[in-house]
Amino acid sequence: MSEVPKVGIAVIGGSANMNAKFPEDFPSVEVLTKDVVYDTPFGASAPFTHAKINGREFLSVPFHGITNYIKNTEPNSAGERVFYVLWKAGVKKILGTALCGSSSRLLDPADAVIPDGFVDYTTKRCQAFYRALESKGVEVERTSYRLHQAFCPELSKSLYMNVKKAGFPRVFQRGVVGVAEGPHLESPDEVRIRYTNAGIDVVTMNLVPEIYFAREIGACYACVEVVSNYGEGCVSTTWEGKMAFSDFQAMWARPTGQALLDTVAETDPESDECGCMTYRWKSIFG
């Protein structure tokens, strides 16, 4: 099995940059290794690409590390496997992306949101990376953390500028994400009662456990949520699956990928000026 390289930055891909041959088919990207599966205590990882842009090395994994064989629910989930690799790599900055549905009536498909808040409605996701590691006999320092500034303000600012540059019609520099368990989309009543009425702007399925595990391993996290459909019952019911997913990806996966890469290119993995890491500490339960 391959050894995980020491790399400071990671891109956790999602449906928003899927099928765009990310990152190898983008300008100025130098691929160092492609489609490498790493051994983890949770099973083999999804294939990672190790690449470089503007002198910045990064690891990239598609679709949150979910494959035909790897689920997003515990045990041995995509999140546990991906973060074992990122932890071993020493990653300090993580960029994520996902398609989402709107639950705010102000949003339209192709709007992009750089979130500054989230509410976790999932029920089957791993909640603590250190517990997952300990269940496999891996020794790890237990950390506790606050979720103040869960989204890194510095990374988010850089991502916002680059998503704007990539050509999205409207980009919002704040917004609250509701994380649904899925895999089904939401009913109209769920969208209205659980999300819209609660002040949630967009609904997605894969921000969790990434945002928790990032802080646990000591990495900043930011993401771009791209609206691909109206939430059920929200504004219009005329959309179809092909329009919201495959046709949508054909238009927006490349701009999403370019924005992620432009952000990697200007990210200093060693910078801690954002202060995110002051919100985690060694657990007293250790």
List the interface residues with Zn ion, window 213-232 (CB under 5 A).
Answer: 220
Told to check if 94 binds Zn ion by CB under 5 A, we report no
Told to check if 10 binds Zn ion by CB under 5 A, we report no
Q: Which residues contact 154 (CB under 8 A, 6 or more apart)?
A: 220, 271, 273, 274
Residue 275 CB, nearest approach to Zn ion (Å): 7
Q: Which is nearer to Zn ion, 82 or 152 (CB)?
A: 152
List the interface residues with Zn ion, window 127-166 (CB under 5 A).
Answer: 152
Give, in order, the Cα–Cα distances in Å from 164 to each of 109, 110, 158.
15, 12, 10
Spatial distance between the Cα atoms of 77 and 198, rounded to a whole number of angstroms: 29
Told to check if 95 binds Zn ion by CB under 5 A, we report no
Within 10 angstroms of residue 202's Cβ, the number of other Cβ atoms is: 27
Q: Which is nearer to Zn ion, 235 or 274 (CB)?
A: 274
Residue 200 CB, nearest approach to Zn ion (Å): 24
Residue 240 CB, nearest approach to Zn ion (Å): 39
Residue 219 CB, nearest approach to Zn ion (Å): 8
Pairing of strands 176-179, 280-282: unpaired
Count of residues in contact with Zn ion, rule CB under 5 A? 4
Q: Which is nearer to Zn ion, 66 or 219 (CB)?
A: 219
Q: Which is nearer to Zn ion, 12 or 276 (CB)?
A: 276
List the interface residues with Zn ion, window 254-283 (CB under 5 A).
Answer: 274, 276
Binding residues (CB under 5 A) for Zn ion: these are 152, 220, 274, 276
